[in-house]
Every structure is written in structure tokens, then in C-alpha cells.
Structure 1
Amino acid sequence: MGQGWQTAPRAPERPPRVRRPGAAAGLARLLRVSRFDLGLPLIHAGKVRELYALEDPATMLMVASDAISAYDFVLTPEVPDKGAVLTQLSLWWFEQLADVVPHHVLSTDVPAPVRGRAVVCERLSMLPVECVVRGYLTGSGWAEYTRDGTVCGIPLPAGLRDGDRLPEPLFTPATKAPMGEHDENVDFDTVVATIGREQAEAVRELSLAVYAAAEPVARERGIVLADTKLEFGTRADGTIVLADEVLTPDSSRFWDAAQWRPGESLPSFDKQFVRDWLTRESGWDRDSGTPPPPLPAEVVQATRERYLEALVRLTGQGLRV
């Protein structure tokens, strides 16, 4: 496929606002330096992905690196093959969800240095909302529930435990904060004020539909889909499109269905393992503003194994590189 890899005009780069001193330094370096030498104009560098301009201005190259982030910091070292796992798993889910919502991927015909970790996709107008769906009570939702009896302001029955399945999946959106700042949970009225009622109702319906379609698929394969974060953009004609990544260990909580026991610590196939090491074993104070320590080799390896396990369980296939 002729993409004109060398001919795209260079897009201006605008660094995002950052406030936390520890996160700011790492993110500033990340934004100035591309991880991949592709000879293409860098549109944007995020914590994990980089976007490059192509000859066709309606398309772009999206590359997933092996970087892993937690608590708004990009951690070191990277997790080998992580970017390929995220890309392969997202492609599989996009196919599974094709009848639910259109997606942004156009082709996997990409430059050799990033083959297996990159896709050519549509350039969309991204909606500034993180569309979170929670099917189970855990994480920040559990913390709020123990305090107020609610999740993102939505009242829940008394007596639920950490890890319990919710009476019904909840749409609990969040702001899409600039890099280095925290996403903040918001109510549905805030989403309406941000993107308008029509789009707000549409992304809520689509988010819940994606979860409803994916949750039984994951469960059949031995994985509990506890919650997930989705991102949507719009085409010029207003069509809402599923973008970025979908139902990966970076964007979702995956638990081992065979060991699901509400009220107990649940084995997971996602980056919760890294978060737990940082907060429980590393000695790092997440409120200090200082960067976390490097991940030990055994944590990196165990994280890689969890990501690969999620890929194999869900798709039935190993990593293709």
C-alpha cells in the first residue's frame, strides 16, 4: 500500500501542560524525542503511543511502544513485546465488535521497524471524554463506595464487597486530562456540557454496548472483564468511531475467572501488578511528586507474562511479530 512514508508535511508539535515536577521532566523528554526512527513527521507522543503523519492527511500511523505507565509516570525499564500485545489484542477486539461500533483501523501495512506494533488509522476528531464502563466494584469505585455508598455519584445497594459484580454495568466517564495530570471522574451532566447531549448519549450507549458484547466473550475464555476505558472520535460526517486501543491490559482490568472471589485479592492479567508493586513494595510515595524507582527485572518479566497470558486466553493465539 503506497503510504508515501517520506513525504508528509511536518505537523507542529505542542507540548502539553504539566504540573507535577516529577512527571513533567519525563514527559517533556518523551514529547521531544521519538522512540522510532521512521523518517515521518511526529504528530504526537503520548506515554505509550506515538502518532505520525502520512501522505494522506486523512490518515496517520499509530505506533504502540513497550513503555508502561502508572500514576501519570512513564516507568523504566520498558516491558518487552508489550506494544505488540496491545496492538494484536486491539485488532482482535475491533473485529469482534465490528457489528457494535465502527473502528478507526485502516491497515496493518506499516514500516518494517514497527511491524506488529503499529496500524494505519483514520484521523478523527477525538472526543475529550474517557468512557469508562464498570461491571464490577473495585479500584477507585470501591474506595468511593466504602465512603459514600456510590460509584461516581451513582447510588448502589448496601453490603457489596470489593470485587462484587454490580447489579448492572455503569457508565462512569472521566475527563481526559493533559499528560502529567490526573483524569477526574465526572457525572453525565458534565459530559453533556462538554460534548453536547446527542454525542454524550451516543457514547454512553456505545460504551455500554461494547462492554455488553465483550464481557461474555472474555468470561467464556476464563477472564472477568471488571472494567474498561474506551475512547471515541468523530468523522467529518459526525459518525462516532471507536479509536485508540480497546479491551487491552492497559485499558482494562482482567481477572482470572477461575479465582474470582469477591472480598479477596484477585489475580489479574493487566498492569495492576505494577501498580501494586509501586504502592506496596517499592517504598515509593505516590504523593511525593518524584518519579517512581525502576521496575525490578522480575516485575518486568511477570508483567510481560500477564500481558501475554491475556492475549493467548482471549484470542487463542500467541504473539505474532
Structure 2
Amino acid sequence: MTASSQPTASAALDLPGWRHAYSGKVRDLYVPDGAPDLAAAERVLVVASDRVSAFDHVLEPGIPGKGELLTTLSLWWFDRLTGVPNHLLPEHTLSGSLIPAAVAGRAMLCKTLDMYPVECVVRGYLTGSGWKEYQASQTVCGIPLPAGLHDGDRLPEPIYTPAWKAPLGAHDENISFERTVELVGADAAAELRALSLEIFGRASAIAEDAGLILADTKFEFGADRETGLTRLADEVLTSDSSRYWDAAAWRSGRTPAERMASFDKQIVRDWLAAHWDQSGEPPLLPAEIVEQTASRYRELLERLTGA
């Protein structure tokens, strides 16, 4: 069996009262029976799978328990981001019976929103693709930065670097703020930027209290179809959408690898980069890589929530 750039057909489950409507790289969306599609549905069941993706491919095998870990952490963060409207329906917490038993623990009952086609990325530290660009041009996503920074350094202040959400199987594309204005309008673009930076600041302080650094993250937002209110949606501040580092290791580490061992799927990316040239289908993940990744996901949840 090989990995694929598309989710497998087995992603769709037979859930009483719900019908499968869409599958992304990690999440599956279900609409109530009777709703013709997502556009017409008033509510949606967002189910996090155990699938793991890297380099725009869904890999096999998945990470056991990943879907529940991601959902648990998203709900924990939604609960702490008071004052930030989100996509959860009140029924999500009032009645667990609305979520089918087959996906209990890894599903969220949500309002259907008109999603903005923008990945709202905030970077507080210089690393990853940003570090590569900085070495070449002293910029990150076209934003000029001071000279003399190193891989893993904290930026003078967090920067907002949006990306266009590409269709499944295609690469997301970094875009300028001006391009965001063209896509969603000036008022919405300014609101998305302000909300993203505000949430990043609040979350960074909470992570710091747990001995963690929130290096970067991405948010997704949608407009409430009834009121037009912008709501935080999808996952939030999880291991899949964010880069977390151990604060003590970052301060004392002598090499980038020591300073920036992250609580996410970087283990998968590193192994894949060393064993695959990104042509054809990616190889199966070894059991030890799967377990190491699952362990890092669990550790982050424990560090942040104490659970």
C-alpha cells in the first residue's frame, strides 16, 4: 500500500443522521441527512482523522489517536479564547448524543460558515521556510527583517504572513496583505490580520506559562451566514497547525535541532525528506516514526492542559 495525495475512500464513515460531504487531508466533513451539500447545510460535523500529511501528500499509516488529540486540544483552546467568536454550536457541549459514538472524542458540531480563502499565518520566530527566505533576501514572505538573525531567533515582533488556501493536492501560496485585500475586501482583510495577531499574542502567553514557545501558527476564519460575524474555525493552535518548542531547550540548546525540537509532525517531515525525493508516491512511514510522532502530540497536550 502506498500513500496518496488524496484521502482514501475509507475516510467516509456511516454515521447515523449524517452524510459524508467532503474530505481534506486530515478532516472529514459531514452534513445532516437531508441537506444536499455543505452550501445548504446549517450545521456540519467536523471529524478529525488519524491521517497525517506532509509535502501535500497524505501518508500511511496514520498516527494512532491523532484525531482525538487534535480535537481535544482545539476544544481546550476555544474554551480559553474568550471573546473570540468561533464555529462551535452550543449543542456541542450541551448534548453529546448529537455526535455519533463512532467519532466521539474526535468530532466537533459546528456552524457552517462561508470560509475565507486565506490561511492566516502568524510567525513569532524565524524558522522553516521563513529562515530559508531570510538567508536569501533578509525577508520573510516579502516582509523586511533586521540583519543578523539566526535560525530559531525570536522576531522583533510577530508578523502576519497570509497564504492562499489551494485546492486539495495543490500547494498553498504565500500572498501579500494587498492580495488578501483583493480576495476578501479591505475590511475583512484588516480584521483577519488583527484577529490573528491578537489570538497569537494571547496563545503565546498561555504557552509560555506551560514552559512552551509558540513559534508560529495558522488560523482559519469564516463569515457567519446569518450575521456576517467573523468566526474562528477549523482546528486552532494544534500540533498540525502550529509549531511549539520547549522553552528551556530553546534557551540552552547549542544547535538548531536541540533548540527547536517541535511537538508536531516535524519528525515525519524530516524522515520523509531524508528517504524520499518527492517524485512518485511517498514511502510508508516506519513504526518508530509513527510512535515518536504520536508521543510528541500526546506530550504537547499534557504540557498545555495538564490532562
Report the TM-score when normalising by structure 1.
0.87
**Residue in 2 aligned with 1:204?**
193
AA partner of residue 45 (structure 2): L
1:142 lines up with 2:136 in the alignment: no
Q: Give the aligned partner of residue 5 of structure 1.
A: none
Q: Is the 8 A contact 2:180 2:189 kept in 1?
A: yes
Which residue in 2 is equivalent to 1:294? 284
* 1:256–1:267 Cα contact (<8 Å) kept: yes
- Structure 2 counterpart of 1:225, from 214, 219, 226: 214
In structure 2, the partner of 1:14 is none
RMSD (CA atoms): 1.6
Distance 2:281 2:247 in 1: 34
For the residues of structure 2 that align with 1:33 and 1:42, how far apart are their CA atoms?
11
In the alignment, structure 2 segments of 5+ residues that lack a partner are 36-40
Question: Equivalent residue of 2:173, what SS?
Answer: coil
Q: Is the 2:224–2:231 Cα contact (8 Å) retained in structure 1?
A: yes
2:122 to 122, 133, 136: 133
Gap change, CA 1:102 and 1:262, over 3 Å in 2: farther
Q: Matches of residues 150-165 of structure 1 in structure 2 within 5 Å?
A: 150-165=139-154
**What stretches of structure 1 of length at least 5 have no aligned partner?**
1-21
Deviation at 1:33, TM superposition (A): 4.4
1:168-247 to structure 2, matched below 5 A, reads: 168-236=157-225, 237-247=227-237
C-alpha distance in 1, partners of 2:169/2:176? 22
Matches of residues 280-319 of structure 1 in structure 2 within 5 Å?
280=274, 283-286=275-278, 288=279, 290-317=280-307
- Paired residue type of 1:52: Y
Correspondence for 2:263 among 246, 266, 269: 269
Q: Deviations over 1:117-144 (max 9, x none)?
A: 0011000000000000000000111011
SS, match of residue 302 in structure 2: helix
Which residue, 76, 79, 104 being the options, matches 2:63?
A: 79
Whether the aligned pair in 1 keeps the contact of 2:22 and 2:30 (CA below 8 Å) is yes
Corresponding residue of 2:21:
43
Aligned to 2:174, what secondary structure does the other structure show?
coil
**Using the alignment, how far apart are the partners of 2:213 and 2:262 within structure 1?**
9
Residue of structure 2 in register with 1:63 after alignment? 47
User: Does 1:104 pair with 2:87?
Assistant: yes
Q: Report which stretch shifted further, 241-250 or 216-225.
A: 216-225
AA at the equivalent of 1:102: P
Partner of 1:250: 240
Aligned to 1:259: 249
Deviation per residue, 1:204-258 (Å, 9 max, x gap): 0000001010001101101110000100000122100000000000000011111
C-alpha distance in 2 between matches for 1:33 and 1:255: 34
Question: Residue 77 of structure 2 corresponds to which residue in structure 1?
Answer: 93
Q: Is the 8 A contact 2:13 2:20 kept in 1?
A: no
Contact 1:161–1:262, Cα closer than 8 Å, also in 2: no
Shift of 1:272: 1.0
CA distance in 2, matches of 1:34, 1:216: 36
Letter in 1 for 2:119: E
Q: Which runs of 4+ in 1 moved over 3 A?
A: 32-35
Cα distance in 2 between the residues matched to 1:201 and 1:268: 30
Q: Structure 2: how far apart are the matches of 1:26 and 1:37? A: 23
Q: Distance in 2 between matches of 1:262 and 1:155?
A: 27
One-letter amino acid of the structure 1 residue matched with residue 19 of structure 2: P
Rounded to whole Å, the distance in 1 between the matches of 2:66 and 2:218 is: 18
CA contact (8 A) 1:34 1:42 kept: no
1:242 and 1:72 map into 2 onto residues whose CA distance is 24
2:31 is aligned to 53
Residue matched to 2:38: none
Q: Deviations over 1:250-300 (max 9, x none)?
A: 0000111110048621211111111011112xx2102x2x12111100000
Contact 2:5-2:56 within 8 A present in 1 as well: no
Tell me the TM-score normalised to structure 2 length. 0.90
One-letter amino acid of the counterpart of residue 307, structure 1: Y
- Contact kept, 8 Å, 1:103 with 1:241, in 2: the verdict is yes
Name the amino acid aligned to 1:256: D
Query: Number of paired residues?
Result: 288
- The letter for the 2-side match of 1:298 is E
Mapped to 2, the partners of 1:211 and 1:279 lie a distance apart of 29
